[in-house]
Amino acid sequence: MGVETLHTQQKGSLVVVGTGLTLAGHLSAEARRVIIEADIVLALMGDRVVEAWLRTLNPRLERLEDQYEAASSRPRAYRAMSERMLELVRSGLAVVVALYGHPGVFVTPSHEAIARARAEGFNAVMLPAISAEDCLFADLGVDPGASGCQSYEARDFFAHARAFDPSAALILWQIAVLGDGAFRDFAPRPGALAALALVLLDVYPPAHRVAVYAGARLPTERPRIDWLKLEDLHLAEIDQSSTLYVPPLREPSPSPSRLALLESMLSAAER
């Protein structure tokens, strides 16, 4: 069921939207409309300026950041956020959850709340938005279709020894979390960055240029793009929005066996 009919239902509903990265400029017309029409807006912006702007669209706003202060860890805070969303939906309200960036990218509570709301018979949808990855492609001038692109959360990439192809670009998200097993903070950890660099140096040369990237939050800001040698990664200044972009090391090599397989299947189909 589309968003158009959500607010005509007798029972509660849930719409999860993203505000993009840049204040006001990235919000879609559809997301703006449902925010304005909502009975209540639950917001997780991470920025008081953005939050204040959101209140101009709908003053009936509740901050989800407060859940971080009440919980002892990020996973517990995420569960509390999901439960709060469902509590309001069950009470019969048209609930809109506004999240920074894309509401479905690195946002555990949004997926959990939508799945649970649907299972309980409520209308629940997610609207797409501009993500940090979209901004990265634009700000770095990267075409993910040119050489391919691999994308991992930094802790997952490191802890599970993820295999990757150095002939394609590599993006590692939330590098500030590496070394924080409980997700309690995003404090810089030079030792964790040095460990990540050692893993990557098994494949890339020490002088391979990488970028530590953070998108702009306000229209007056510029994205932060710090290019440095891989061997100097531990010297990078990072915060919770920092992402590591590793350009391809070389051109991909054609696979004779794959090309032979394709040729044989095409020939067989023509017979």
The torsion region of residue 141 among left (phi > 0), alpha (psi -120 to 50) and beta comes to: left
Q: Tens digit of pLDDT for each residue in 226-243?
A: 999 999 999 999 998 999
**CA–CA dist 222, 141 (Å, integer):** 15
**CA–CA dist 138, 145 (Å, integer):** 13
Residue 34: the pLDDT is: 97
pTM for this model (two decimals): 0.85
The pLDDT of residue 68 is above 80: no
10 half-sphere exposure, CB direction, 13 A CA radius: 0
Residue 165's pLDDT band (cuts 50, 70, 90) = very high
Residue 181: the pLDDT is: 57
CA-closest candidate to residue 142, choices 109, 113, 106, 170: 170
Average pLDDT over residues 198-210: 98
| Contact status, residue 121 vs residue 12, Cβ threshold 8 Å | no
Average predicted confidence (pLDDT) for the chain: 90
**CA–CA dist 245, 175 (Å, integer):** 11
The pLDDT of residue 182 is above 70: no
**CA–CA dist 97, 91 (Å, integer):** 15
Residue 220: the pLDDT is: 84
Catalytic residues, which ones? 74, 78, 100
